[in-house]
Amino acid sequence: MSRRMLIAGNWKMNGQLSDLGYFSNLPEQVSTPDAEIIVCPPFPLLPASIEAAKTSFIVIGAQDCHGASSGAHTGDVSARLLAVLGVQYVIVGHSERRADHGETDAMIRSKAEAAIEAGLIPIICVGETLEQRQAGQAVEVVAAQLAGSVPKTGEYVVAYEPVWAIGTGLVAELEDIAQMHDEIRSRLTRGETTRILYGGSVKPDNCHALMLLDDVDGALVGGASLKAQSFAEIIKNTLG
Ligand code: 13P
């Protein structure tokens, strides 16, 4: 079963209106890739990013959504509104949101369900902390996150991001990544067709080896997606 490679850049709380030349610089550096390329800027940059990317291969994603379709949720954004803007993917359950905002698996599932309902594809993040890995609990922790946060139906992407590998320059061992992706796939209802991304210090010089792993269908890239040049190198090195 072939799964289309997906490379997503998560800008997190970075980027300015003045940075949107990115959406013309990136396509100048890579010819239309045989993969889905997604960039997820902060909410206020979404409309201008969608406009700037519209004639390119770049698809725009968001970094979060609420589980409800509307209502008294100050500061939150509905999946439905994102879809109306032209957003196609939304990251849910990033470990930074689990940690900074106390998001639970149940909340993440409701966000993923709301995204699917609105016609978006959620990218559901899972991953263990260093303490959990050192205690031999990595698979158990990720399995529990999947059981609690993955919706029963609809299309979604899973991103395995070991918390200790995010923004640290540390990358999980290839063997551990391969094992975890296999564990994740075996627990998904439609495992054969669901794309599973790896995230955590993905850089131009390590992405090729990561993407050669059987069950790795792409990457979720933080820091190295902020500059068009390094993201372009990741795209080229991943597919090359
Ligand atoms: P880094 O690539 O900066 O480690 O971030 C990974 C990440 O959290 C992507 O969502």
Each residue of 8-44: pLDDT tens digit?
999 999 999 999 999 999 999 998 889 999 999 999 9
| Distance separating alpha carbons of residues 59 and 40, to the nearest angstrom | 9
Find the mean pLDDT for residues 109-116: 98
For 183-226, write each residue's pLDDT tens digit: 999 999 999 999 999 999 999 999 999 999 999 999 999 999 99
Task: Examine the residue annotation and report whether 101 is marked as an active-site residue of this protein.
Answer: no
HSE value, Cβ hemisphere, 13 Å, CA-based, for 134: 5
CATH number among 3.40.50.10490, 3.40.190.10, 3.30.360.10, 3.20.20.70, domain 6-239: 3.20.20.70
For 154-163, write each residue's pLDDT tens digit: 999 999 999 9
Look up tokens 């359950």; give the residue. 93
| Distance separating alpha carbons of residues 19 and 32, to the nearest angstrom | 21
Domain ranges of the chain: 6-239
Backbone φ/ψ region at 167: left (φ over 0), alpha (ψ -120 to 50), beta:
left
**8 A C-beta contact, residue 82 and residue 65:** yes
Q: Among residues 135, 189, 139, 194, which one has the least CA distance to residue 162?
A: 139
Is 80 exceeded by the pLDDT of residue 240? Answer: no
**8 A C-beta contact, residue 154 and residue 118:** no
Out of 123-127, 178-182, 188-192, pick the least confident.
188-192
Find the residues whose C-beta lies inside 6 A of ligand 1. 10, 94, 161, 166-167, 199-202, 220-224
Nearest CA to ligand 1 atom 9: 222
| Distance separating alpha carbons of residues 139 and 172, to the nearest angstrom | 14
Find the mean pLDDT for residues 135-155: 97
